[in-house]
Amino acid sequence: MIQKSFGYACKKIREGKGLSQEKFALLIEMDRTYYASVESGKRNISIQNIKKIADGFGISISELFETVEKG
Amino acid sequence: MIQKSFGYACKKIREGKGLSQEKFALLIEMDRTYYASVESGKRNISIQNIKKIADGFGISISELFETVEKG
């Protein structure tokens, strides 16, 4: 399911950068508990918030979804 | 702005397939007026609906965003 795959990819990229959920959420100015629920696949996240996350990782949205689709 | 770029890319791809907004919305089982407002950049669309649109175009979400990012 897309929410789960998206959350898993975010977790993988964030961990690859050695950032905690707290630090990353702070960096992108997103509520920490909201970001945690995105990683858990619980949120039908919007395009604005997807953009915020991609920007925080320093990648484009298409690159973020390449990671999502690789699984 | 991401909503505008996303809507413009959807319009471009849909027109490339020779489909009207009505026909495409019907195909993906999305409300016609909602889909029209997405193309106009008025909606902070969710990942579930982004997936629905990409599936309707027969492409992956990353491919859809490559078109978005090309502008």
B5-58 residue pLDDT tens? 999 999 999 999 999 999 999 999 999 999 999 999 999 999 999 999 999 999
CB B38 within 8 A of CB B13: no
Number of residues assigned to chain B:
71
> What distances in angstroms separate CA A32 from CA A35, A48, B55, one per listed residue?
5, 17, 31
Beta bridge partners of A46: B46
| Tens digit of each residue's pLDDT (9 = 90 or more) over A30-68 | 999 999 999 999 999 999 999 999 999 999 999 999 999
Contact A69 B51 (CB under 8 A): no
Contact B21/A at CB under 8 A:
no
Range A3-25 average pLDDT: 98
Q: How much is the pTM?
A: 0.97
pLDDT of residue A71: 85
Percent of chain A past pLDDT 70, that is, above it, reads 100
pLDDT of residue A53: 98
Helix A61-70 vs helix B61-70: crossing angle, to nearest 10 = 170
pLDDT of residue B60: 98
The distance of A11 to chain B (nearest Cα, Å) reads 17
Alpha carbon distance A61, B54 (integer Å)? 14
pLDDT for A15 beyond 90: yes
Helix (H) or strand (E) holding B58: none
Averaged confidence pLDDT in chain A = 98
Helix (H) or strand (E) holding B32: helix B32-39
Contact B60/A at CB under 8 A:
yes
